[in-house]
Structure 1
Amino acid sequence: MIHLDNISKHNGHQILFVEASAALLRGEKVGLVGPNGAGKTTLFRLITGQDQADEGQVSVDRNTTIGYFSQDVGEMEGKSAVAEVMDGAGPVSEIAAELAGLEAALADPGRADEMEALIERYGEVQSRFEELGGYALEGRAREVLDGLSFTQEMMDGDVGNLSGGWKMRVALARILLMRPDVMLLDEPSNHLDIESLIWLEEFLKGYEGALMMTSHDREFMNRIVTKIVEIDGGVLTTYSGDYEFYEGQRAQKEKQQQAQFDRQQAMLAKELRFIERFKARASHAAQVQSRVKTLEKIERVEPPKRRQSVLFEFPSAPRSGEDVATLKGVHKSYGSRSIYDGFDFQVRRRERWCVMGINGAGKSTLLKLIAGASEPDRGTVSIGPSVKMGYFAQHAMDLLDGDLTVFESLEHAFPQAGQGSLRTLAGCFGFSGDDVEKKCRVLSGGEKARLVMAQMLFDPPNFLVLDEPTNHLDLMTKEMLIKALAEYEGAMLFVSHDRHFLAALSNRVLELTPEGVHQYGGGYTEYVERTGQEAPGLRS
């Protein structure tokens, strides 16, 4: 359906693709992977014709419809979320608009003299609308929005009143409703709660068209894709299998290439030693010349490109007391909506609680109460002796000083630290080379999240309160964070929609449901086994 043949592409001085080739075939589900800045979004733009290759050819089969979801959703206002989603449904949405216009014209007394022509046209348009399943369109649009966790009020309210994250869901719903021949999805798993993520998983599994997507959620990728296209160093390499299989294949390939490189280096060193030793002896001149010529002709094996991020090691956190945080008889309401009513909860040393619950269940509210960012209406929240808390919330990213560079921010936070240790810290969190000189105001959401996390973990607290810490992190940074937190000895309370993160780090589960609060010993994996569901909102 889509073929990329020997494409080359420069972006300023940066070379993105060099004679790269790949294909997306009918019905295939492909994961597009590669380090940040490798050119994943550029590849989508080349396929959709928003960008042009410098050399080579991008060909799309005739009459192929493409739906492209990107992180740049544009302006949305003045319509309901349902209307905005229906507008993306291709020809049927245009016919729906004409039908609405004709209905208004038929009700207009000033156009009585056109009535015959209007009625005739209305019949034609209505027939075409029915043929295309137009009357089922609104139902389908609401079904998709419901799957993405919209309430009826949100569906019917002005889309302009929604936050950026919810507008992203509207833009995604437009593509899903459209059901094009090909879907290009750039980070569709961002901004979704776990229930929406699992619903989207099922939707995409049942989608019969071709799919190419990027995602920083490995579990999501593993369950959907059957092929990986990797962008690395300007080259596109295709692997059969899911993300986990790709990781294993890539590691094996890297190991083989390293062994090949080491063997060749040993052989070259041996030959060079012979040349050095005998180059001055006339008796060995012919042998030396022969070996020099042989070496000149040998095709050099390149060492493998290493993409491992630097592992961040926690300095030891000071030990806290056994009781880290205690809530007694906590009541909390927002207007007429009661979130907590006489809630008791305790976090003890070395416990790692993940908090589960649908949107509005009170997950972030609980974290705010414990972090002191919100007060209970009644009841008490107490933090234990010797507890040093680190609180990561999405709004923390807005508190960065836009005029400081990444490195200046770290220096400002840790004036006593040496430059070397701060550069190592920056490198662990994905800031290398000139990246440390970027001003905070120009950082992406992911870069801001990494910087806030670096500041929080360099002088480690013994109690981490984390609200969606992986939201903007790429796969490699996420893996580094999981490995680092696995060694962390303090207490944790966190909310995340990333199932790999939940399974790797939790040893307790707090489930918030309309029927009440449930506590589970054992981590997320045990919770799934016991309840038979990956999230509370999925219970039948």
Structure 2
Amino acid sequence: MIRLDNISKQNGERLLYVEASAALNRGERIGLVGPNGAGKTTLFRMVTGEEPPDEGAVAVDRGVSIGYFNQDVGEMAGRSAVAEVMDGAGPVSEVAAEMRELEAAMADLDRADDMDAIIERYGEVQGRFEELDGYALDARAREVLAGLSFTQEMMDGDVGNLSGGWKMRVALARILLMNPDVMLLDEPSNHLDLESLIWLEGFLRNFEGALLMTSHDREFMNRIVNKIIEIDGGALTSYSGDYEFYEQQRGLKEKQQQAQFERQQAMLAKEIKFIERFKARASHAAQVQSRVKKLDKIERVEPPLRRQTVRFEFPPAPRSGEEVASLKGVDKAYGARRIYDKLDFVVRRKERWCVLGVNGAGKSTLLKLVAGASEPDAGQAAIGSAVKMGYFAQHAMDVLDGERTVFETLEDAFPHAGQGSLRTLAGCFGFSGGDVEKKCRVLSGGEKARLAMARMLYDPPNFLVLDEPTNHLDLATKEMLIEALADYEGAMLIVSHDRRFLAALSNRVLEVTPEGVHQYGGGYTEYVAATGQEAPGLHAG
């Protein structure tokens, strides 16, 4: 359906693609992977025709419709979320627009003379609308929005009043409703809660067209894709299978290449030693010459491209008292909505709680109450003795000083730390080379989140309160964080939609439901096994 033939592409000084080729065939669900800045978004833009390759060609079969979701959703205002979604549904939305115009024309007395023609055209357009199942469109749009956790009120309200994250969901819903032949999804899992993510997983598994997507959520990718295309060093390499299979295959390939490289290096060293030893002797001249020629002809094996993985080691956190945080008889309401009623909850040393609950159940509110960012209406919220808390919330990024660079921000926080260790810290969180000189005001949302996280973890607290800490992290940074936090001695309270993160790090689950709050001994994996659901109210697929 789509072919990339020997494409080359340069972005400024950076070579993204060098004579790279790949194909997307009917029914394939492909995960596009590669380090940050490798050119994943550029590839999408080349497929949609927004950007041409410098060399080579991108061929799309005739009549193939493409739906492209990216992080840049543009302006939305003045219409309901449902209308906005229906507007993106391809041909049917154009037919609906013409129907509306014709309905207005039929009610316009000044156009009485044209009425026969208008009515005739209306009959044709209405027939086409029925053919395209247009009357079911509103219901289908609502079904998709409900899957992405919209309430009826949000569906019918002005889309302009929604936050950026919810507008992203509207943009995603448009593509899903459009049901194109090919879907290009750039990070569709980024701004979703766990319930929406699981719903989207099911939707994409049943999608009959071809799919090309990126995602920083490896669990999500594993369950959907049946092929991986890796961008590495300017080349595109295809692997048949899910993300897990790709990781194994790539590891195997690297090992084989390394062994081949080492064998060749040993052989070359031996030949060079012989040449050096005998080049001055006339008796060995012929042998030396033939070996020199042989070396010139040998095709050199390159060592495997080393992925830059940086490990971050926590300095040990100071020990806290046994009771780290407690809520006693806590009530909390927003207007008429009661979120908590006489809630009792205790976090003890070394406990790592993950908080689950449907959208709007009060997960972030619970974290705010514990962190002291919000006061209970009644009852008590207290922190235990010798507790040093680190609170990462969505607004953690807003406290960065726009005029300071990344490095200055870390230096301000840790004036006694050595330059080397701060550079290592920056590198762990994806700021390498010149990135540390960037001013905070030019950082993307993801970069700000990573900087706020780095600043919080360098001098580690013994109680981490993390609200969606993985939202803007790529796969490599996420893995680094999981590894680092696995050895962390302090207590944790986490809200996250990343199931791998929850499964790897939690040892307790707090489930917040409309019927009340339930506590489970055992982490997220045990919770799924015990309840048969991956999130409250949803059965494991």
- Secondary structure of the 2:534 match is coil
Q: For residue 469 of structure 2, what is the aligned residue in structure 1?
A: 469
Instruction: Check conservation: 1:228, 1:239, Cα contact below 8 A.
Output: yes
Larger CA deviation: 525-534 vs 117-126: 117-126
Separation (CA, whole Å) in 1 of partners of 2:108 and 2:151: 35
- Secondary structure of the 1:435 match is helix
**C-alpha deviation, 1:292, in angstroms:** 2.1
Larger CA deviation: 392-401 vs 106-115: 106-115
- Secondary structure of the 1:253 match is helix
**C-alpha deviation, 1:539, in angstroms:** 5.9
What amino acid does structure 2 have at the position aligned with 1:202? G
Instruction: Check conservation: 1:314, 1:484, Cα contact below 8 A.
Output: yes
Separation (CA, whole Å) in 2 of partners of 1:539 and 1:18: 45
What amino acid does structure 1 have at the position aligned with 2:137? L
Larger CA deviation: 520-529 vs 97-106: 97-106
Q: For residue 416 of structure 1, what is the aligned residue in structure 2?
A: 416
Q: How does 1:88-167 map to 2 (within 5 A)?
A: 88-167=88-167
Q: For residue 260 of structure 2, what is the aligned residue in structure 1?
A: 260
Q: For residue 384 of structure 2, what is the aligned residue in structure 1?
A: 384
Q: For residue 299 of structure 1, what is the aligned residue in structure 2?
A: 299
Q: How does 1:322-333 map to 2 (within 5 A)?
A: 322-333=322-333
CA deviation string 1:38-77 (max 9, x = no partner): 0101111111100001111110100000001111111111
Q: For residue 532 of structure 2, what is the aligned residue in structure 1?
A: 532
Instruction: Check conservation: 1:308, 1:476, Cα contact below 8 A.
Output: no
Instruction: Check conservation: 1:76, 1:167, Cα contact below 8 A.
Output: yes
Q: How does 1:297-376 map to 2 (within 5 A)?
A: 297-376=297-376
Identity across the alignment (%): 81
TM value normalised by structure 1: 0.98
Q: For residue 444 of structure 1, what is the aligned residue in structure 2?
A: 444
CA deviation string 1:179-223 (max 9, x = no partner): 000000000111001111111111011110000000000011000
Separation (CA, whole Å) in 2 of partners of 1:538 and 1:227: 27
Q: For residue 431 of structure 1, what is the aligned residue in structure 2?
A: 431
Instruction: Check conservation: 1:426, 1:454, Cα contact below 8 A.
Output: yes
**C-alpha deviation, 1:101, in angstroms:** 1.9
Larger CA deviation: 266-275 vs 87-96: 266-275
What amino acid does structure 1 have at the position aligned with 2:349? R
Separation (CA, whole Å) in 2 of partners of 1:342 and 1:187: 39
- Secondary structure of the 2:75 match is coil
Quickly say closer, same or farther: Cα 1:118–1:34, change in 2 above 3 A.
same
Separation (CA, whole Å) in 1 of partners of 2:169 and 2:93: 19
Separation (CA, whole Å) in 1 of partners of 2:279 and 2:410: 55
Larger CA deviation: 300-309 vs 209-218: 300-309
Separation (CA, whole Å) in 2 of partners of 1:252 and 1:28: 24
- Secondary structure of the 2:211 match is strand
**Within the alignment, does 1:395 sit opposite 2:398 as a pair?**
no
Separation (CA, whole Å) in 2 of partners of 1:321 and 1:509: 21
Instruction: Check conservation: 1:31, 1:212, Cα contact below 8 A.
Output: yes
Q: For residue 460 of structure 1, what is the aligned residue in structure 2?
A: 460
Larger CA deviation: 126-135 vs 182-191: 126-135
Separation (CA, whole Å) in 2 of partners of 1:537 and 1:196: 12
- Secondary structure of the 1:192 match is coil
What amino acid does structure 1 have at the position aligned with 2:135? Y
Separation (CA, whole Å) in 1 of partners of 2:468 and 2:504: 15
Separation (CA, whole Å) in 2 of partners of 1:247 and 1:131: 45
- Secondary structure of the 2:230 match is strand
What amino acid does structure 2 have at the position aligned with 1:67? G
Larger CA deviation: 338-347 vs 436-445: 436-445
Q: For residue 241 of structure 2, what is the aligned residue in structure 1?
A: 241
Separation (CA, whole Å) in 1 of partners of 2:207 and 2:261: 44
Q: How does 1:208-247 map to 2 (within 5 A)?
A: 208-247=208-247
What amino acid does structure 2 have at the position aligned with 1:55? E
**C-alpha deviation, 1:272, in angstroms:** 2.0
Aligned length, in residue pairs: 540
- Secondary structure of the 2:73 match is coil
**C-alpha deviation, 1:78, in angstroms:** 0.9
TM value normalised by structure 2: 0.98
Instruction: Check conservation: 1:309, 1:430, Cα contact below 8 A.
Output: no
Separation (CA, whole Å) in 1 of partners of 2:429 and 2:245: 26
**C-alpha deviation, 1:113, in angstroms:** 3.7
What amino acid does structure 2 have at the position aligned with 1:278? F
- Secondary structure of the 1:344 match is strand
Separation (CA, whole Å) in 2 of partners of 1:489 and 1:286: 68
Separation (CA, whole Å) in 2 of partners of 1:13 and 1:132: 48
What amino acid does structure 2 have at the position aligned with 1:441? R
- Secondary structure of the 2:340 match is strand
Q: For residue 172 of structure 1, what is the aligned residue in structure 2?
A: 172
What amino acid does structure 2 have at the position aligned with 1:305? L
CA deviation string 1:456-512 (max 9, x = no partner): 111001000000000010001000000110010110000000011111100000000
**C-alpha deviation, 1:320, in angstroms:** 0.5
**C-alpha deviation, 1:308, in angstroms:** 4.2
Which runs of no fewer than 5 residues in structure 2 stay unpaired?
none
- Secondary structure of the 2:202 match is helix
Q: Aligned Cα RMSD in Å?
A: 1.2
Separation (CA, whole Å) in 2 of partners of 1:408 and 1:215: 31
